[in-house]
Amino acid sequence: MIFIGGRERVCFIDDEEDSILRLMPVFRETGDLVRIEADGEMYFVHRRDSQVKRNGRKVSLAAIEEAVLSYNGVETSAAVFDVETQQIYLFIILKNISEMSPKLKMELDQHLHLKLPSNAIPNTIQQISSLPLTKHGKINSKRLLKLVQNRQSKPESVRTYIEQEWKRLLNVQKIESHDNFISCGGDSIRIIHFAEDLSALTEHPLPQLVDLLLNDTFAVVSAYIDEITTANETVPIKKDLKMDISSDVGDRTRKIVERDDKLIFSKRGGEETIDLPGDFALKLGWRFDLRKCVDASALMVGSTDNSKVRVFIGSHSNEFAAIDVETGEAVWVVRLGGRIESSACVSLCGTLVIVGCYDNFIYCLFGHDGEINWKFQTGSQVKCSPIIDPHSGHVLVGSHDHYLYCIDVKFGTCIWKISPTHGSIFASPSVSKQPHCIYIGTLDGKLCSLNPSNGLVFWEKNLQKPIFASPVVTNDKVFAANVNGDLYCFSHIGKQIWLFSTIGSIFSSPIVIHKKFLMFGCHDSKLYCVLVETGHVHWILQMNSPIYASPFSLFNCSKERSGHVGVIACITGEIKLVSVINGSEIASYTLSGEIFSSPVILKDKLVIGCRDNFVYCFDFGSQSTT
């Protein structure tokens, strides 16, 4: 339990007299029970005084939770009480056990009977994959109780139940078998909550559900859950590794794309150095209408000997545009075959722009006029942002068909493709220089290290929950985050170094700043800055809403106020610049629409997309001129 007090001062409670000062130091019980880890970090467990009245007798829910936690194998617990039925429901998370067997359930029941009085024995013990939390990080008892009530009223038909939840979440009146959750108005955030609720309600882990909700139909989702819940096996057998290496590529794939040393570019999660005035502010320069939501992040490309910089970005309208960063005028606009959430990348030679599309294709366009050089068809939607392997110049991009593709950037020929897991690939891959490895995260929660020559797996780690954030690499570390709010640090040989946990889902891809700090946003409405070496908190900044976007690193080289600056955007439209040293706010600007796009900076321009259909460009101007 946490006690608060000190030698210098004391808070008087009710009618306490001054005589209590003779007992200094005075410590007060907070009633908060915590778990202290080996590194000294404290994690809230529950309140000691969580008492309820059951059939006229007082029962401590905290005592029930403590009793079950004393059983070896139980990691976390939460007890909830239904006042109307006078029933107590106990939820538990087990250590390294995918499903609670009848034998284990009986042993837990016997253990509780030895530890608790008869009136405190829970009516049911239910395994759950994760405990829902409030925005303040406390266990959400109301949501747990709702899960119980939903399960009790759940219709016999799984299909009927899923249909009810689908309609409720998306506020639709009718569902067809061919409907897709995203096309009905859903998004990845609601999918995560839907998957967690269904897993808890069916009492089965559903490892492929997030992937299916993103890509497949209502009929496929229903059939999958029906199959899992009626089968003895709870986890499908892992499929054989699928790999295809092109045998007819020929000599041309061995040609390395020539590098343009005069090329400068900036994309999501990058870093830029500029000289900011001492009293600077974000000043809106222009906005460009892309007709529908702009969730993609910008690619900005220019040259060291030319002041002209172009912004490449697409939207849900299927339009992909090149925009002059100075004027905000379109250089060209092309219409692709589907909506665009993928952020583009540029070839090493600086002349080709590559982007993924919802029509299952990867497009390669000439940067100067938008003409299509080639397009490559995958087996499903391409929401993943492609990257260029700096060693070979090849395009690396994932698809929702579960494959990672390595494509020749000049000719659009597949050099190899591999499907190492059951999961789709949403997050952009990352490449380490030394050792030369490719890292991917998948929607079935796997982090994989791959051989760049042929795509074969060096090692694989199970992060348990879907990975939407792109992995980030340094000389000796790999960082990856999942939607359970866990940020992992591994060595390049796959050894876990540390784990940092938040209370919200992480969609924001982390960035490394000054080789010392790791910054990322979270759905608990906080911006985190942790130490690269240990994972310990450097500072935490409370934002006004959840964060989906990835931060950007800016180094202010001005004499007046030099230092590293983090740039972040939250869903409600707020853009903030904060000091990396202490997390203090330096400047801010709020747009009228939601922001899922990440800020990108090149030279003295900041570009970001918005769900009000516009791309915005800001200057770093003096406050006196705004």
| pLDDT band of 156, cuts 50, 70, 90 | low
| pLDDT band of 313, cuts 50, 70, 90 | very high
13-44: pLDDT as tens digits: 555 555 555 566 777 777 677 778 777 787 76
The reported pLDDT for the residue numbered 617 is 96
Question: b or e along 303-342 (b: 16 or more beta carbons within 10 Å of the residue's beta carbon)?
Answer: eeeeeebbbbbbbbbbbbbbbbbeeeeebbbbebebbbbb
Q: Mean pLDDT highest for which of 51-65, 292-306, 418-432?
A: 418-432
Of 297-306, 445-454, 520-529, where does mean pLDDT reach its minimum? 297-306
Among candidate residues 507, 520, 599, the one with its CA nearest the CA of residue 552: 599
The reported pLDDT for the residue numbered 353 is 96
| pLDDT band of 366, cuts 50, 70, 90 | very high
For 282, other C-beta atoms within 10 Å of its C-beta total 21
Predicted confidence (pLDDT) at residue 253 exceeds the cutoff of 50: no
Q: How far is CA 412 from CA 352, 361, 364, 457, in A?
A: 11, 11, 8, 24
Q: How far is CA 201 from CA 126, 138, 162, 195, 295, in A?
A: 10, 21, 11, 10, 32
Domains of the chain by range and CATH? 1-49 (no CATH), 59-153 (3.30.300.30), 158-227 (1.10.1200.10), 263-341+550-625 (no CATH)
The reported pLDDT for the residue numbered 317 is 95
74-115: pLDDT as tens digits: 888 899 998 888 889 999 988 877 677 878 888 888 899 888
Q: Is 200 helix (H, G, I), strand (E, B) or coil?
A: helix
Tokens of 138: 């406390």
CA 146, 149, 154, 158 torsion: positive or negative? positive
The reported pLDDT for the residue numbered 506 is 94
**DSSP string for residues in 513-536:** ETTTEEEEE-TTSEEEEEETTT--
506-560: pLDDT as tens digits: 999 999 998 899 999 999 999 999 999 999 999 999 998 999 999 998 887 655 5
Tokens of 467: 């990975």
When pLDDT is averaged across residues 426-443 and rounded to a whole number, the result is: 94
380-432: pLDDT as tens digits: 999 999 999 999 999 999 999 999 999 999 999 999 999 988 899 999 999 99
- Would you give the distance in Å from CA 13 to the centre of its chain? 44
Predicted confidence (pLDDT) at residue 256 exceeds the cutoff of 50: no
462-518: pLDDT as tens digits: 998 999 999 999 999 999 999 989 999 999 999 999 999 998 899 999 999 988 999
CA–CA gap between residue 16 and residue 437 (Å, rounded): 66
Q: Mean pLDDT highest for which of 46-50, 63-67, 167-171, 185-189?
A: 63-67
Q: Is 215 helix (H, G, I), strand (E, B) or coil?
A: helix
Name the residue with higher pLDDT: 45 or 209.
Answer: 209
The reported pLDDT for the residue numbered 12 is 61
Q: What are phi and psi of 254, to 5 degrees?
A: -85, -5
Q: Is 136 helix (H, G, I), strand (E, B) or coil?
A: coil
CA–CA gap between residue 196 and residue 395 (Å, rounded): 34
In contact, 104 and 97? CB cutoff 8 Å: yes
CA 247, 248, 250, 253 torsion: positive or negative? negative
Of 55-64, 128-137, 556-565, where does mean pLDDT reach its minimum? 556-565
Predicted confidence (pLDDT) at residue 259 exceeds the cutoff of 90: no
3-class secondary structure per residue, 447-515: EEEECCCCCCEEEEEECCCCCCCCCEECCCCEEEECCCCEEEEECCCCCEEEEEECCCCCCCCCEEECC
Residue 615: its H or E element: strand 614-622
